[in-house]
């Protein structure tokens, strides 16, 4: 019995223990399951390539990084006028896959798009299309675009660039106010993408110097543009930034903050040496001359003597038909077209004769009365002058100064040949030191190197001997140099023999701070002796006296030299006739191509500016003019007049008067006016006592201003006043006024202070 009771007592204990054991096992199982699940999650999240890939896809679908384009810097003239500027524009995209368009009622959509089509066609007109260079789109064509994109299957709908060109912020704001759909009436279904557009406010002005900034290919190598745009691209372009963007709707993203965002660094500004007003004037005057002469091309340049600053550099080339349109975009002839300079080279020959040839201004040479069809044989060359430099009644001998003034080819050919025929290397070495066979600092802009035949080289005898080459070199043949070389040479002479390189950029600025300055570069410290320079100045002055008819309105003395040369070298042209002629090269005699130029220094004493104008043309029966004096001097004259008008330092100083001005007589009138004029008097006593009107009297050298009291109903005292003030006072008082004489009121017919009655008349007597 006891054993049975014990067994009964042990059963509950065993069951409880069993239950507890089972619960423990369950807990342990659950813990292990939890740990297993956790381990799986950890493995999936941390190590699973599939999950990682899917997470990246989701992340990239929501976020992305996009570049932020830097704002390109501006190219300025030296006086702050923008020559090339980037302006913010917008591309407008319509998202035809957006909810607003997908869910739009068909009738509502068609109504809005029809109105929008009409407004777009009226805003982007045919005139606007011609101005900006895009195809005009009519209202019907716009409507078809809207219907076509609407009818696409939903998955194929896309963002569409609906406008034919980029628009300004003002245009966009106007469209958001007035144009359906753009005003948000069917939801946010569009996006405005900002971008920079390069603008040239002055059009074709200085475009060769400014250049272009888009990538071009030169000799199979990609180059980031030309001119200033290309050379200073690193400064102008700035540095693009980047930003993280979050997807907010189909086709639309917004920027969000992120540690990896990179700020944009906008481009710096380039400040040039170009004077915008001068460039514009030179461009216009040269363009007019080229049209009149049906020329092939022309250049006009102004260089600042001390600094080498290029104040203007115009290079115009003909379009297909000469005499119609001329553009800066054809070629930079000033730098890239190497030509025989002609008689402007006589300044270098004169320098050689004076410096190393034992000549002075009055060394004579027999020109043998040379003139057209009367050549003189010099060495192996036959040379003639355009006119008899000596005069028909003379012995034929001409001095160096007169030979230069008359531009005698024979004088310089004879003089150079006789001086250097035994050792031509002395002459060619002298010219080489003046950099006629070198660059002058603008290689980066595409400058052509000067080509000068050197004695004692194989090239020297390739096209003739010393006896034929040396005489022709003396007056500007046998060598080829770009116009910029001749300008730089003359500028060096004007700069007391110090030749400086042409300087186009003054400095680089960022946010008003100077980042980099362009130094003045000296090419030759001393071109020749002071004696030679003084004599060359006399030659330039003598030449300018013979060209006076073209500069009769110029109020400042100047020095100059003209040049005319037959063209033997080809050049870049868009002219149909020019390109036909140049297929087999140019023959100067047969093809009648001429290069007429003039180079001036102003003022004559201590020059500040060097001016060059050159025109290339083919002489034809309908346009026979070809001399440099006729082609280039009128343009140079207009340029120099502009310079004179805008540079007060060139004007004569008006000396101050030894004694200050004092008016002999002062009229009465408004007190504030009388007092102002009276302040110039030698001695002034102001007794106006606050009255609005005053009379003036003299007591010896003393000027006395006395107030005039205007009493209502009584005749005012207007004696001593001018007629205008007297009339005003008397008519305001109700009097009818008549007058005789001129000057100040000497007397009045009614006594001051007398009572005024209706229809009362008063007569004034005036005298000076």
**Per-residue pLDDT, 131:** 86
Using one digit for the tens of pLDDT, what is the confidence trace for 265-298? Answer: 888 999 999 999 999 999 999 999 999 999 999 9
CATH of the domain at 681: 3.30.10.20
**Per-residue pLDDT, 424:** 94
Of 5 and 379, the structure prediction assigns the larger pLDDT to 379
The residue among 646, 495, 633 whose CA lies nearest residue 560 is 633
In order of 1, 2, 8, 16, 398, the CA distances from 5 in angstroms are 6, 5, 5, 18, 162
Q: Which two tokens stand for residue 650?
A: 């060139």
Out of 253, 271, 289, a domain closes at 271
The residue among 164, 189, 167, 177 whose CA lies nearest residue 109 is 189
689 DSSP 8-state letter: T
> Is the confidence at residue 750, as pLDDT, over 90?
no
Q: Please give the average per-residue pLDDT across 742-750, as a whole number.
A: 86
Q: Please give the average per-residue pLDDT across 716-731, as a whole number.
A: 85
Instruction: Assign 720 a pLDDT band (cuts: 50, 70, 90).
Output: confident
**Per-residue pLDDT, 561:** 96
**Per-residue pLDDT, 249:** 59
CATH of the domain at 259: 3.90.1310.10
> Distance between CA atoms of 111 and 118, rounded to whole angstroms?
11
Same domain for 130 and 94: yes
The residue among 725, 710, 711 whose CA lies nearest residue 764 is 725
Same domain for 182 and 88: yes
Q: Is residue 104 part of a domain?
A: yes
Instruction: Assign 149 a pLDDT band (cuts: 50, 70, 90).
Output: confident
Same domain for 237 and 104: yes
Q: Are 535 and 360 in contact (CB under 8 A)?
A: yes
> Distance between CA atoms of 423 and 420, rounded to whole angstroms?
5
Q: Is residue 479 part of a domain?
A: no
Of 668 and 167, the structure prediction assigns the larger pLDDT to 167
- Range with lowest mean pLDDT among 169-178, 410-419, 478-487: 169-178
The residue among 487, 482, 486, 496 whose CA lies nearest residue 524 is 496
Q: Are 272 and 83 in contact (CB under 8 A)?
A: yes
Q: Is residue 553 part of a domain?
A: no
Using one digit for the tens of pLDDT, what is the confidence trace for 442-457? Answer: 999 999 999 999 998 8
Q: Is residue 246 part of a domain?
A: yes
Residue with tokens 């531009």: 407
Q: Please give the average per-residue pLDDT across 500-515, as a whole number.
A: 94
User: In this structure, how many other beta carbons lie within 10 angstroms of the beta carbon of residue 622?
Assistant: 7
Same domain for 125 and 229: yes
> Is the confidence at residue 338, as pLDDT, over 70?
yes
* 755 burial via Cβ count (<10 Å: 0-12, 13-18, 19+): exposed
Q: Please give the average per-residue pLDDT across 507-528, as a whole number.
A: 94
Q: Are 332 and 345 in contact (CB under 8 A)?
A: no
**The pairing of beta strand 381-383 with beta strand 221-223:** unpaired
**Per-residue pLDDT, 54:** 52
> Is the confidence at residue 413, as pLDDT, over 90?
yes
Of 61 and 515, the structure prediction assigns the larger pLDDT to 515
- Range with lowest mean pLDDT among 281-285, 292-296, 514-518, 701-705: 701-705
Radius of gyration of the chain (CA): 44
Out of 240, 271, 302, a domain closes at 271
Q: Is residue 755 part of a domain?
A: yes
Q: Is residue 14 part of a domain?
A: yes
Same domain for 165 and 36: no
Same domain for 27 and 123: no
**Per-residue pLDDT, 525:** 97
Q: Is residue 652 part of a domain?
A: no
Q: Which two tokens stand for residue 661?
A: 């001005």
Same domain for 248 and 142: yes
Same domain for 31 and 77: no
Q: Where are the beta strands (DSSP E) in 155-240?
A: 159-161, 190-199, 216-218, 221-223
- Range with lowest mean pLDDT among 2-6, 111-115, 140-144, 624-628: 2-6
> Distance between CA atoms of 474 and 563, rounded to whole angstroms?
13
> Distance between CA atoms of 632 and 635, rounded to whole angstroms?
5
**Per-residue pLDDT, 213:** 80
- Range with lowest mean pLDDT among 258-267, 335-344, 370-379: 258-267
Of 18 and 180, the structure prediction assigns the larger pLDDT to 180
User: In this structure, how many other beta carbons lie within 10 angstroms of the beta carbon of residue 174?
Assistant: 14
Using one digit for the tens of pLDDT, what is the confidence trace for 186-210? Answer: 877 788 888 888 889 888 899 999 9
Instruction: Assign 62 a pLDDT band (cuts: 50, 70, 90).
Output: confident
Instruction: Assign 687 a pLDDT band (cuts: 50, 70, 90).
Output: confident
Q: Is residue 724 part of a domain?
A: yes
Out of 250, 271, 292, a domain closes at 271
Provide the domain limits for residue 107: 66-271
Same domain for 125 and 220: yes
Q: Please give the average per-residue pLDDT across 644-655, as a whole number.
A: 84
**Per-residue pLDDT, 419:** 95
> Is the confidence at residue 537, as pLDDT, over 90?
yes
Instruction: Assign 35 a pLDDT band (cuts: 50, 70, 90).
Output: confident
Same domain for 212 and 108: yes
> Is the confidence at residue 57, as pLDDT, over 60?
no
Q: Which two tokens stand for residue 760?
A: 């009362």
Q: Are 360 and 354 in contact (CB under 8 A)?
A: yes
**Per-residue pLDDT, 33:** 80
Q: Are 538 and 354 in contact (CB under 8 A)?
A: no
Of 720 and 260, the structure prediction assigns the larger pLDDT to 720
> Distance between CA atoms of 361 and 605, rounded to whole angstroms?
19
DSSP assignment of 231-289 equals HTHHHHH-B-EEEEEEEEETTEEEEE--TT-B--BPPPEEEES--HHHHHHHHHHHHHH
Instruction: Assign 12 a pLDDT band (cuts: 50, 70, 90).
Output: low
How many structural domains are present in the chain?
3
Mean pLDDT in the chain?
A: 86
Same domain for 749 and 683: yes
Same domain for 71 and 26: no
**Per-residue pLDDT, 465:** 81
């Amino acid at each position: 019995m006891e054993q049975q009771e014990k067994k009964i007592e042990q059963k509950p204990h065993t069951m409880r223990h069993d239950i507890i054991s089972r619960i423990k096992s369950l807990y342990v199982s659950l813990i292990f399951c939890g740990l297993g699940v956790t381990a799986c999650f950890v493995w999936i999240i941390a190590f699973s390539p599939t999950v990682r890939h899917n997470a990246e896809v989701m992340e990239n679908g929501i976020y992305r990084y996009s570049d932020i384009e830097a704002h390109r810097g501006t190219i300025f003239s030296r006086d702050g006028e923008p020559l090339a500027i980037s302006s913010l524009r917008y591309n407008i995209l319509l998202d035809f896959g957006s909810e607003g368009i997908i869910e739009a009622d068909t009738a509502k959509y068609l109504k809005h798009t029809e109105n929008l089509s009409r407004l777009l066609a009226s805003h982007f007109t045919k005139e606007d299309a011609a101005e900006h260079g895009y195809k005009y789109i009519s209202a019907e064509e716009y409507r078809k675009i809207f219907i076509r994109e609407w009818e696409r299957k939903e998955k194929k709908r896309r963002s569409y660039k609906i406008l034919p060109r980029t628009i300004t912020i003002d245009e966009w704001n106007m469209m958001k106010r007035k144009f359906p759909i753009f005003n948000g009436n069917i939801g946010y279904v569009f996006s405005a993408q900002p971008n920079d557009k390069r603008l040239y406010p002055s059009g074709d002005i200085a475009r060769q110097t400014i250049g272009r900034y888009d990538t071009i290919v030169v000799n199979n190598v990609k180059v980031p543009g030309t001119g200033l745009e290309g050379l200073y691209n690193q400064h102008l372009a700035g540095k693009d930034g980047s930003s993280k963007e979050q997807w907010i709707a189909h086709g639309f993203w917004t920027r969000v903050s992120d540690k990896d965002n990179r700020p944009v660094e906008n481009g710096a500004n380039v400040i040039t040496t170009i004077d915008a007003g001068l460039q514009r004037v030179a461009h216009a005057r040269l363009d007019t001359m080229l049209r009149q002469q049906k020329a092939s091309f022309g250049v006009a340049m102004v260089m600042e003597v001390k600094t080498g600053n290029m104040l203007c550099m115009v290079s115009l080339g003909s379009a297909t038909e000469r005499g119609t349109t001329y553009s800066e975009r054809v070629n930079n002839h000033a730098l890239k077209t190497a030509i025989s300079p002609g008689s402007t080279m006589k300044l270098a020959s004169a320098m050689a004769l004076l410096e190393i040839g034992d000549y002075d201004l009055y060394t004579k040479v027999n020109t043998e009365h040379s003139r057209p069809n009367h050549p003189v044989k010099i060495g192996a060359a036959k040379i003639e002058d355009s006119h008899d430099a000596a005069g028909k009644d003379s012995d034929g001998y001409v001095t160096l100064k007169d030979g230069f003034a008359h531009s005698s080819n024979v004088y310089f050919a004879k003089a150079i040949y006789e001086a250097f025929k035994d050792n031509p290397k002395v002459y060619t070495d002298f010219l080489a030191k003046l950099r006629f066979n070198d660059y002058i600092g603008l290689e980066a802009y595409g400058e052509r190197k000067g080509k000068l035949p050197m004695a004692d080289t194989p090239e020297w005898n390739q096209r003739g001997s010393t006896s034929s080459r040396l005489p022709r070199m003396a007056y500007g043949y046998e060598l080829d140099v770009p116009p910029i070389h001749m300008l730089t040479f003359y500028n060096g002479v004007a700069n007391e023999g110090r030749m400086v390189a042409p300087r186009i950029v003054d400095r680089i600025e960022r946010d008003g701070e100077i980042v980099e300055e362009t130094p003045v570069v000296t090419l030759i410290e001393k071109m020749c002796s002071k004696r030679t320079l003084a004599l060359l100045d006399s030659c330039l002055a003598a030449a300018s006296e013979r060209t006076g008819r073209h500069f009769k309105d110029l109020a400042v003395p100047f020095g100059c030299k003209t040049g005319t040369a037959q063209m033997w070298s080809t050049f870049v042209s868009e002219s149909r006739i020019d390109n036909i002629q140049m297929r087999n090269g140019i023959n100067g005699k047969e093809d009648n191509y001429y290069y007429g130029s003039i180079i001036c220094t102003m003022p004559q004493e201590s020059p500040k500016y060097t001016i060059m104008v050159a025109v290339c043309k083919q002489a034809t029966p309908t346009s026979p003019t070809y001399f440099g004096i006729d082609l280039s001097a009128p343009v140079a004259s207009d340029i120099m007049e502009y310079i004179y008008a805008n540079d007060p330092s060139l004007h004569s100083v008006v000396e101050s008067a030894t004694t200050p001005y004092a008016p002999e007589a002062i009229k009465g009138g408004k007190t504030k006016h009388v007092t102002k004029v009276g302040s110039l008097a030698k001695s002034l006593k102001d007794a106006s006592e606050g009255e609005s009107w005053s009379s003036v009297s003299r007591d010896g050298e003393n000027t006395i201003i006395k107030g005039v009291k205007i009493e209502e109903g009584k005749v005012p005292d207007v004696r001593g006043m001018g007629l205008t003030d007297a009339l005003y006072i008397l008519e305001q008082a109700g009097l009818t006024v008549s007058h005789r004489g001129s000057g100040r009121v000497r007397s009045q017919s009614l006594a001051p202070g007398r009572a005024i009655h209706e229809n009362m008349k008063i007569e004034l007597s005036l005298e000076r």
